[in-house]
Structure 1
Amino acid sequence: MKCLRAKSSRANYKKKHFKNKSLQGKQTMSKPVNALASPRFCGIRTFMRLPYQTDLQDIDFAVLGIPFDTATTYKPGCRFGPAGIRAASTILKSYEEVLDVDIFEECSGVDYGDIDIIPGHLDESFERIEEGMSALLKNDIIPVVMGGDHSITLPQLRSIVKKHGPVALIHFDAHSDTGSDYFGKPYNHGTTFHWAIKEGLIKPEESTQTGIRGPLYGRDSLKFVRESGMQVITGWELHEIGINEAIKRIKERISPGTPVFMSFDIDFLDAAYAPGTGTPEIGGFTTHEALKLVLNCCQGQELVGMDLVEVLPESDNAEITSFAAAGIMHAFLSCVAANKRAKR
């Protein structure tokens, strides 16, 4: 009954706040529901309780799900990642202290829903992902994607390059995902960046993979990515040099004005912080370290997109992986807002 009684106050809040004019004077802002008007456990689950909206007018960013896990090689179930992240994200608030920015004072954002993939059919799903992203990109909207397995990054990049050209990749992961094939087939969640490099979708000389660790198939497993010109900061190395040095190395490679795409595989985090994933790895990193990397590496960049992949709610003890994923996405959105403020 409390949820029903909150309906009118929530409607009044939306009427009052969702149409506030931006500092530029023209853009109308889409903002989350106020938790002081409607409790966080009420309403339909959207990311940060943003309005579910497919109208793309006056939007800076759109959060969307790609619930595809057909390309998983170990433990499936991350097709339910977007739902888990959305549920956890209701706890988030709009202000980010480190950057001193309120996301929705600077940006208008919506939850765009999910792209309807075809379960079990990789090539056809890739086509749907590429096409689904194009509507956002044509309207100069930054897509912020919840996966799904890591194979979904490849069709995203194919769509992004049509709009922005090749991108600098900021990639946080336990795995390089640069194998050429798997059982003789080219595409799965472990071959994504091999084909992204081969297709000219990313600029290896301006890109970095960070956190790579765990047992490999052989001593040459990272040979291709290193010879491509990509910087690889392994997990062991990151522990040795520290977060601040890694931030410096990542940022100094990116030329001013280069479009930047961030891909964050949740298994970058240590298995203790992210048990809810299909290929967990020990020896990883804390959520604090992840937030520090994202907030510093993405601030000041020409951000054109982001994805967070491989969240598997079925294995997620106490939802800690979904909460971590939502918080990392919030850090990225805070950078989008801070960058827009700086340009203004």
Structure 2
Amino acid sequence: MTYPNVQDTVSLIKELVSIPSPSGNTNKVISFVEDYLNKLNVETKRNRKGGLIATIRGKDTENHRMLTAHVDTLGAIVKEIKPSGRLKLDLIGGFRYNSIEGEYCEIETSAGDIYSGTILMHQTSVHVYKNAGKYERNQDNMEVRIDEKVHSADEVRSLGIEVGDFVSFDPRVQVLPSGYIKSRHLDDKASVGILLQLIKQVVTEKLQLPYTTQFLISNNEEIGYGGNSNITPETVEYLAVDMGAMGDGQATDEYTVSICVKDASGPYHYELRKNLVSLAKENKIGFKLDIYPYYGSDASAAIRSGNDIVHGLVGPGIDSSHAFERTHISSIEETTKLLYHYVQSKMVD
């Protein structure tokens, strides 16, 4: 038995997080994934939302599996060009302004031009603003300082920057000798990298999967509807691969695969969960069962859309989700192992 090479997976994750892809502007990263799969001669198609579906034919073509991970990330959009030449933002996805204070960013115009900037409090300088540390981190007080000689709204517009332009955050990705990977957007590009490497392993080893298996690389998960469509009537099991959230009271860690029991949408399918646990135990895979109280996935979106499926959720443990994220190569490896055995296993009864 040969598992996908975890170092190759980490290198792929590093590439993925470095491609800006806030929800609503994901064509570049979808094209990257599409090219990766096309080189493997994997059948792919795009849905109308811009996501990508890869299909591997299995022994049973009447009962399908679908696995999904999302390439869209948190980001922002230009809400207003201020008279000062700075930009007011509107956030894309569920996070707080304090988590992006001081972050480098890119503004992409509708013409495709890229400008750099920094996200700052308006009242940043302690030499000017006596109570700089007391102001609320919110839309009114935070702004983008553009790295161009602009001092008015007209000068900003002369660059081609306009309301509605997308703003992406510098991932600041680092892969450390200790095995830690820290970067923005590990949610959920870590899982995308895992799935792509899994597909590569299935193809190169010429594994005969027991069921036709589709892999949805979704592109609207952060805004709630990435995985709610394009599910074939033959699909029985639908497994979202997304980060495990860490914090007080959570079991998830950075070294094992997290198997979600319940999130804000309710419990995940009990029999599928038990099957995943059984596979982990049989193959000596480190895992944690957990509940994510303020969380939703592509699998829960699929259920809410009325699909008659068995749904589950697993993924690597990610510290400080929707902010300064970190995981460990061990969690990538354990998640990979579980998925490798899952796609070759029997469906739940």
Assess same fold via TM > 0.5.
Answer: no
Q: Answer 1 or 2: which has greater strand percent.
A: 2
Q: Considering only CA atoms, is the larger Rg found in Structure 1 or Structure 2? A: 2
Q: Answer 1 or 2: which has greater helix percent.
A: 1
Higher RCO (CA 8 Å, separation ≥ 6 residues)? 2
The normalised TM-score by structure 2 is 0.31
